[in-house]
Amino acid sequence: MKYSLRHEAVFKGFLVNHFQFDNGGSLIVSVVILLVLTIVVSFLSNIMKYINFSVTKAEEHLVINRGVIDRRQSLIPVKLIQALQIRENRIRQLFGFSTIRIIYHGNGEVFNKSLILRPLLHGRELQDFLIVFNQGWSGKA
């Protein structure tokens, strides 16, 4: 079956009647609005996930608390911490931010796990953070 102008007219009529898109401009505007709303919801969910973020040392454990609605607490033995990992994606590099993760030895079938130690850290604070973190933990492995 060949594609004809009649099929094109039927398709355009379907779009206009069911989705109220009378021209391509309103479709583009709708897609842009949907994209912006998706970005805003993603940003707000990350804020809610990492608000009230705190890291404290309790005896031989690292205690990480985070969240408002979904409160979480992680307790990691210091002797299981293997490394610190600094992650930057393109957008964070543009603004000079990074994320610090700790990699620690898991138990059971998972050998290495990672957990966010600092969700957002500016580049000029990075060296000071690493110095303070290393002073508090040196010789504890």
> Cβ distance 28 to 36 under 8 Å?
no
Mean pLDDT of 98-118: 79
- Please report, as a single letter, which amino acid is at residue 70: D
Domain check: are 42 and 70 in the same one? no
- If asked whether residues 23 and 59 sit together in one domain, one would say no
pTM of the model: 0.61
Q: What are phi and psi of 60, to 5 degrees?
A: -105, 30
Q: Are residues 33 and 67 in the same domain?
A: no
Please report, in angstroms and rounded to a whole number, the separation of the first and last CA atoms in the chain: 73
DSSP characters over 37-105: HHHHHHHHHHHHHHTT-EEEEETTEEEEEE-SSS-EEEEEEGGGEEEEEEE--HHHHHHTEEEEEEEEE
Supply φ then ψ for residue 63, to 5 degrees. -110, 120
Give me the pLDDT at residue 3, please: 55
pLDDT over 90 (residue 61): no
pLDDT class of 140 with cuts at 50, 70, 90: very low
58 and 81 share a domain? yes
Q: Which domain holds residue 95?
A: 52-137
Q: How many domains does the chain have?
A: 2
Same-domain status, 69 and 11: no
Q: Residue 41: what pLDDT?
A: 92
Residue 38 clears pLDDT 90, i.e. is over it: yes
Indicate which CATH number applies to the domain containing 109. Answer: 2.30.29
**Same domain for 101 and 56:** yes
Q: Are residues 76 and 127 in the same domain?
A: yes
Who has greater pLDDT, 118 or 109? Answer: 118
Q: Are residues 43 and 57 in the same domain?
A: no
Same domain, 96 and 110: yes
Q: Are residues 109 and 66 in the same domain?
A: yes
Of 60 and 24, the one with more pLDDT: 60
Task: Read off the pLDDT band of 37 (50, 70, 90).
Answer: very high
Is-contact 119 54, C-beta < 8 A?
no
Q: Are residues 24 and 91 in the same domain?
A: no
| Whole-number pLDDT of residue 141 | 39
Q: Are residues 32 and 61 both part of a single domain?
A: no
Retrieve residue 15's tokens: 């779009």
